[in-house]
Amino acid sequence: MRTLSDSTRQQAQALMEMYPTKEAAMLPVLHLAQKEFGLIDDEAEQVVAEVMGISPVSVRETSRFYFMYHHHPVGKYHLQVCQNISCTIMGAETILDHIKRRLGIEAEERTEDGLFSVERVECIACCDRGPAMLVNDKLHTGLTPDKIDGIIKESDPERKLDHMQSEGNKE
Amino acid sequence: MPEIIINDQQIEVPEGTNLILAARKLGIDIPHFCYHPGLSVAGSCRMCQVEIEQNGRKRIDLACTNPAQDGMTVKTDSPEVKGIVKAVLEFLLLNHPTDCPICDDAGECKLQDYYMLHGLYDNRLNVDKWHKPKVHRAGPNVMLDAERCVLCGRCVRFCDEIWGEKQLGIFGHGSDEVLMNYPGKDLDNPYSGNVVDLCPVGALLDRDFHFQRRSWYLKSVKSICPSCSRGCNTYIHFDTDHDYKSAGKRIMRLKPRYNVDVNRWWICDRGRYGYSSIDNPNRALTPLIAGGETGWEQALTKSETLIRSSLKKPGPDGLALLMAPNATNEDVYLALRLFRDTVKFANLGYDIPSMEKLAADNILLTDDPYPNRRGFKDLGFGSISNTSEAAEIIEAIFAGQIKGLVVCGTNLEGMLGNQIDNLIAKLDWLIVLDTHKSSLMDKASVALPLALPAEREGTFTNVKGLVQKFEKAVEPTGQSLPLWEVLQRLGKRLNAKWSFEETHTVFKSLAEDKPEYDTLNWLATFGVNKGLYLDSW
Ligand code: SF4
Ligand code: SF4
Ligand code: FES
Ligand code: FES
C-alpha cells in the first residue's frame, strides 16, 4: 500500500488543526494527496482516511463528488478545457476538437505514452479571455489552434504534429 | 408546549416535535423518505414539503426540519403543496426502474404508496433511463439494487449513527450518484439487516427473502426474539398458503417491532436471521423410546414408569432435572410444580456457565444466548433441599449419586463431548425433551419432541426484568408440543393436584403473588395481523 510522505502528512495535520472539525480539511488534504499520488484512486482514499482518522466511506463520498479529483491516471500534461457558456461562445468546441485530433484521443482519455490527457471542465473563472484551459496548474487564455500546437510542441518537442490535418487550421 | 393547527385541526405537542411527528399524532401522514424518528434529520429528499403560516407570512418548507412552534398554521393538502410533492416524486422516480413485479419490496414500498396517493402522473421521460448496479451483494445478509435507491441516506445514517461505523455511502454526482458499500468492504455489522427495514424502497433487500414470497401473502404475529436475553420485540412474518417454492418453509422472515424500553426500531442479525432453525429438517418430530419412534401415550407411560420406579430407590436425592434457560415462564412454573413439589426431585439445575458467550455490545446484544435466565431466577428455579448448579449435578452423576435424569433443552453433548456416553452409563434412566434431533435423544430411555416459541405462546422475562409475551405463528412441527403441555400431561399421570388447560391460566397462576408479573395484560394483545407493520415509518 502506498503511503504519504512525511512532509505531506505534516501539511495535512496542519490543515486539520485549522478547522473546528477535521472533516473540514478534507478537500485540501485530498488535493495534497492527489499532488503526491497523481490521482485519487481507492488506495489513495484509504490513505487519506487513515491520515485523517475518518472512515474511507466519508473520503470517497467527497472525492467522488468533485470532478477535480482524478480517479484514473492522467497524463504528465493534463489539459483541462473549459466548456462553459462564455468559452463555448468563443469557440471552445473547436479548440477541444483540435486538441483531440492533434493528440489522437477523446476527451477524458490519456495518450498511450502517458504524456497528455484531456478533460472537459466547468468554468475556470477566465470568462473574459475565453476560450480558456489549464495545463496542470498553468492557465492559457484566448486559445486558437495555433496556440494549442505551440503548447503541445513546448511540452513535447519531439511530437510530430504535421501528419495530422486539423480542421481548425484550414480557416 | 407549542400549540399548532394542521389542516384545521388543533394539537399541542412537546417542545421540539417536528411537523411530521405532530401531524402523525392527528393521523395525517406527511409523505417522507429520508426522515426516520430513530435517526438524525437529513432534510434531503424534499418529499415532506408543507405550507407553513407563521407571524402573518406564508412559506413552503420542510416538515421534517421544522419543529412545531406556537401559533403555526400548517397545511399539508393545499393545491400548491400537492403540486410540489407530485413534482418531487416525479424527479425521484425519473430514473427508477419501476420493476415492481420482480421487486421483493412491492406492497410495502413508499414509492408505490406515494405514487398512488400523490403522483398519478404519466411518464414524460422519452430518453433512456440511467442504469446502475442491479444485483449487488452489499454484505453477507443484504443485497442492493442501486437503481431503485432514492438516495434518502437512511441506511448511511444507520450505520454511522447506530452501529458507529460508516459502511455505506453515496458516491458520485448528479444522476450518477449511487449508494454503495466501500469497494471490497462488506456491509457486515451485526445489525446490518436493519437497513433493509429502513430502506423506503426495494433497494436494500434481505438476501434470504429474495424472491421467496410476495409481501401481501405474509401474515404477522407479535413475538419476542429468543436469541439472547435482551428479548427484542419482533414480528414473525409467515405464510402457509403459497408454498410454491421451498417445500415446508412457513416462517418467511422476522422484523423488529417498536418497543422504546427494549429495542426501539432495531434487532440484531443474529436474532433476525436465526429463524431457519424452525422449519428445519433437524426438528424432533415424534416421541422416541430407546431411539425407536412411538406415540405420546406410550412415551408418557414409559416416563411415568421410570420416574415412579425411582421414587423409593434411589429416592429424591438420586433424581435430577436439568433445564436450559430458553424455556418460558409457564414451562418453568409447571416444571417446579411437578419436579420440585410433586415428585420432589432434590436436584434442579439450569445455571450452566454459558458455553457460547455472545459478543455483547452496548446497542442490543447481551452476552447471554438464552432468553429467560431472569425468569428462572424470578420464579425461584432450584430445589428446596439442595441449591444445585447444573455443573454440580453432572459431577454427582459421574460420582454415581444420581440415577435418574430429566433434561430439557440443555446441550449436554456440547458440554461433555465424548464424555456423554460415560454419563449415560451411570444412569438408570434418562428422559430428554428437546426441539431438535440429537444423538442424546436417540440414546435416551425416552425422548419427547418440543415446540419452538414460534409454534406456541408464552412469556419470557428479559435481562431487565420485563415480562414479555409472544404469540403463536404456526402449528408445532410434527407431533411436538409446548413444554408446559408435556409437563401437564406427565403431572396428571404422577397424581399432581393441579391442572391447566391454557397457557394463560398457567401464567395467571404463576403471576398471582408476583406483582412484577401481574402487570402483563395477557388478553390485551392482537391475534394474527393483516398489516405487516403497525409501526412502520
Ligand atoms: S438504499 Fe434505500 S435507505 Fe439507502 S439511500 Fe437508497 S433508498 Fe435510502
Ligand atoms: S439483541 Fe438479542 S434479543 Fe435482540 S434481536 Fe439480537 S439476539 Fe434477539
Ligand atoms: S466560461 Fe470558460 S472560464 Fe468561465
Ligand atoms: S423527509 Fe423531509 S426532506 Fe426528506
ω into B314 cis (within 30 of 0)? yes
Q: Which of B171, B178, B186 to mutate to test the interface with A (most CBs of A within 10 A)?
A: B171
Provide the residue-wise pLDDT of chain B in tens; the chain has 537 residues. Answer: 999 999 999 999 999 999 999 999 999 999 999 999 999 999 999 999 999 999 999 999 999 999 999 999 999 999 999 999 999 999 999 999 999 999 999 999 999 999 999 999 998 988 999 999 999 999 999 999 999 999 999 999 999 999 999 999 999 988 899 999 999 999 999 999 999 999 999 999 999 999 999 999 999 999 999 999 999 999 999 999 998 766 789 999 999 999 888 999 999 999 999 999 999 999 999 999 999 999 999 999 999 999 999 999 999 999 999 999 999 999 999 999 999 999 999 999 987 665 678 899 999 999 999 999 999 999 999 876 665 688 889 999 999 999 999 999 998 988 888 999 999 999 999 999 999 999 999 999 999 999 999 999 999 999 999 999 999 999 999 999 999 999 999 999 999 999 999 999 999 999 998 888 877 766 655 455 544 445 778
Q: How far is the CA of A132 from the centre of ligand 3 (A)?
A: 7
* CA distance readout (Å), B532 to A164, B20, B206: 69, 22, 16
Interchain pair B173, A61: CB under 8 A = no
**A127 and A88 part of one domain:** yes
Distance CA B7, CA B24 (A): 12
What is B3-93's CATH number? 3.10.20.740
CB contact under 8 A, A56 and B165: no
Q: What DSSP string describes chain A?
A: -----HHHHHHHHHHHHTSSSGGGGHHHHHHHHHHHHSS--HHHHHHHHHHHTS-HHHHHHHHTT-TTS-SS---SEEEEEE-SHHHHHTTHHHHHHHHHHHHT--TT-B-TTSSEEEEEES--S-GGG-S-EEETTEEE-S--HHHHHHHHHHH-TT---TTS--HHHH-
> Of B527, B535, B531, B534, nearest to B215 (Cα)?
B531
Contact map slice: A 36-55 vs B, CB within 8 A: 42, 55
Q: Evaluate: CB of B382 within 6 angstroms of ligand 2.
A: no
Pairing, β B446-449 against β B288-289? antiparallel
Q: Are residues A40 and A105 in the same domain?
A: no
| Domain at A61, CATH number | 1.10.10
* Residue B166 · residue A61 · CB < 8 Å: no
Determine the Cα–Cα distance for residues B76 and A11; give it in Å rounded to an integer.
51
Whole-angstrom distance, CA of residue B307 vs CA of residue B342: 12
Same domain, yes or no, for A164 and A113? Answer: yes
Angle at the Cα of B362 (from B357 to B364), degrees rounded to 5? 75
In a domain, A71, yes or no: no
The finding on whether B257 has its CB within 6 A of some atom of ligand 2 is: no
- Looking at chain A, which residue has its C-alpha nearest residue B176? A65
Question: Does residue A53 lie in a domain region?
Answer: yes
Do A96 and A58 fall within a single domain? Answer: no
The domain in which residue A46 lies consists of: 6-65
A112 and A157 assigned to the same domain: yes
Kindly report the number of other CB atoms within 10 A of residue A71's CB atom. 15
Instruction: Kindly identify which residue of chain B lies nearest to residue A42, measuring between CA atoms.
Output: B183
CB of B230 closer than 6 A to ligand 4?
no
Write out chain B residues lying below 8 Å of A60, CB-based: 169, 171, 182
B interface mutation test: which of A26, A58, A64, A108 has the most B CBs within 10 A?
Answer: A64
Verify that A61 and A81 share a domain, yes or no: no
Are residue A95 and residue A124 in the same domain, yes or no? yes
Contact state of B182 with A61 under an 8 Å Cβ cutoff: no
Work out how many domains chain A is built from and give that number: 2
In a domain, A135, yes or no: yes
Residue A1 lies in a domain: no
Q: Quick check: is A24 in a domain?
A: yes
**A12 occurs within a structural domain:** yes
**Chain A contact present for B171, CB below 8 A:** yes
- Tell me: do A87 and A123 sit in the same domain: yes
Name which of A57, A66, A122 to mutate to probe chain B: the one with the most chain B Cβ atoms within 10 A of its Cβ.
Answer: A57
Q: How far is the CA of A28 from the centre of ligand 2 (A)?
A: 43
Fold of B100-107+125-277: Alpha-Beta Plaits (3.30.70)
Hey, which of B32, B149, B158 would you mutate to test ligand 1's pocket, going by the most ligand atoms within 8 Å of its Cβ?
Answer: B149
* Kind plus residue range of the DSSP H or E element containing B443: helix B439-443
pLDDT tens per residue across span A12-59? 999 999 999 999 999 999 999 999 999 999 999 999 999 999 999 999
| CA–CA distance, A57 with B378 (Å, rounded to integer) | 47
| Domain end among A39, A65, A91 | A65
Provide the CATH number for the domain around residue A143: 3.40.30.10
Q: Are residues A145 and A104 in the same domain?
A: yes
Class for the domain spanning B288-517: alpha beta
Taking the domains of chain B in order of start, what are their residue ranges? 3-93, 100-107+125-277, 288-517
> Looking at the complex, does the CB of residue A57 fall below 8 Å from at least one CB of chain B?
yes
Residue B462 CA to residue B326 CA, distance in Å, equals: 11
